[in-house]
Amino acid sequence: MRALVIGAAGFVGNYLVRHLLEQGDEVFAGTLKEPVALLSDTTLSVDITDSASVAELMHRARPDVVYHLAGISFVPEAESDFDKTLRVNVAGTANVLRQAHLFSKSTSVLFVSSAEVYGHISPTDLPIRETTPTRPANNYSLSKRMAELVAERYVSQGALRCTVVRPFNHIGPGQDSRFVASNFAMQLARIAHGKAPPTLKVGNLEARRDFSDVRDIVRAYRFLAQQGSGVFNLGSGVPRSIQSLLDTLIKVSGLAVKVEQDPARMRGPEVPELYASYEKAHAAAGWKPVITIEQSLADIYGYWHERVRAEVAA
Ligand code: GDD
């Protein structure tokens, strides 16, 4: 299988590339800037906002499957720059879909949308199924839903094979420190190495979200890309408060810390609770998550502990 991963240098992209190589796929990476370490010979540069650049990428990679992961993924970043979010997440995705369609009728695309598209759901909608109505409530979720609609049009016209995945929160070692688990682990590691005072800054600890491990999520991407159609939720099916995430990380670190709410980390009105039914992905591909939250958080803390140690030693 020839696979093209667009957005391969990102957090999830790196894990996906590794997984595809382990499964024996021939893998090409499309990235905006950074090369992908595992793919020194097959990293190609692409700017998804430039249609010609995406066309050239398709012709050089000649993929059977395109995994489209590129985009703005941090909710507050999308909130602060809607223009850029529209350009990258919507127009960029439209370019990828169009160029895949023009390249070959047999090429299929897996588009990574987001659980955020469900937006302000009511508690009676839980757990969220793919049939739950979407009500995007911020710039990020709007952009993801708009991009889904572009994909839906290609699919309904029989012009492209496309699978849409809606992952809930996924975490793991190497994630950008703007995201909650990575951020708390980084702060704790800095405290452990004496690089910061023992006070941890936090935002809304009451939100309840569905966390799974990135290593489980990328397995699902490969299974589901082979389906060639459909919309799939990916999550653990278990709601967890941000407070419980914090408590587990503090326990893993073995530190005594003070916790302080930072107004800058608080967002506008947030959905209090979100969690998935992943029954559809299970039925289609036999997929279920296997890595425990305790394991994910221990690995994330271990990653940051080592990274800060190396910085201190340098
Ligand atoms: N980032 C961050 N930092 N979030 C915090 C903090 C903090 O200090 N304190 C509390 N939170 C809360 C946020 O308010 C939010 O409710 C939750 O932790 C998770 O925030 P993020 O890790 O930033 O992720 P997200 O939920 O906004 O979005 C993630 O999940 C989506 C799928 O549900 C991202 O991975 C998106 O790309 C993804 O689509």
Q: In which band, very low, low, confident or very high, does the pLDDT at 270 lie, cut at 50, 70 and 90?
A: confident
Least confident of 79-83, 224-228, 279-283, 308-312: 224-228
* pLDDT at 214 (0 to 100): 98
Domain ranges of the chain: 2-171+211-234, 180-209+239-272+291-313
* pLDDT at 112 (0 to 100): 98
Query: What is the arrangement of strands in the sheet containing 161-167, beginning at the earlier edge strand?
Result: 43-45, 26-31, 2-6, 65-68, 108-112, 161-167, 229-234
Share above pLDDT 90 across residues of the chain, in percent, rounded to a whole number: 92
By alpha-carbon position, which residue is closest to atom 17 of ligand 1?
Answer: 180
Q: In which band, very low, low, confident or very high, does the pLDDT at 205 lie, cut at 50, 70 and 90?
A: very high
Q: What are the two backbone dihedrals, phi and then psi, of residue 191, each rounded to the nearest 5 degrees?
A: -65, -45
CATH class of 2-171+211-234: alpha beta
By alpha-carbon position, which residue is closest to atom 37 of ligand 1?
Answer: 73
User: For the chain, give me the number of helices (H) and strands (E)?
Assistant: 11, 13
* pLDDT at 305 (0 to 100): 98
* pLDDT at 179 (0 to 100): 97
By alpha-carbon position, which residue is closest to atom 3 of ligand 1?
Answer: 180
Cβ(115) – ligand 1 distance below 6 Å = yes
Distance, in Å, from the CA atom of 266 to the CA atom of 162, rounded to the nearest integer, reads 36
**Over the stretch 214-248, which tens digit does the pLDDT of each residue have?**
999 999 999 999 988 999 999 999 999 999 999 99
**d(CA 7, ligand 1 centre) in Å:** 20
**Mean pLDDT in residue range 161-187:** 98
Least confident of 33-42, 46-55, 123-132, 246-255: 33-42
Which fold is adopted by the domain 180-209+239-272+291-313?
UDP-galactose 4-epimerase; domain 1 (3.90.25)
Cβ(105) – ligand 1 distance below 6 Å = no
Average pLDDT, the chain: 96
- Matching residue, tokens 């793991």: 172
Measured from the Cα of 171, ligand 1's closest atom is: 35
- Rounded to two decimals, the pTM is 0.97
Q: Beta-carbon neighbour count of residue 137 at 10 Å?
A: 18
**Over the stretch 276-305, which tens digit does the pLDDT of each residue have?**
999 999 999 999 999 999 999 999 999 999
**Over the stretch 87-129, which tens digit does the pLDDT of each residue have?**
999 999 999 999 999 999 999 999 999 999 999 888 999 999 9
Q: What are the two backbone dihedrals, phi and then psi, of residue 242, each rounded to the nearest 5 degrees?
A: -65, -30
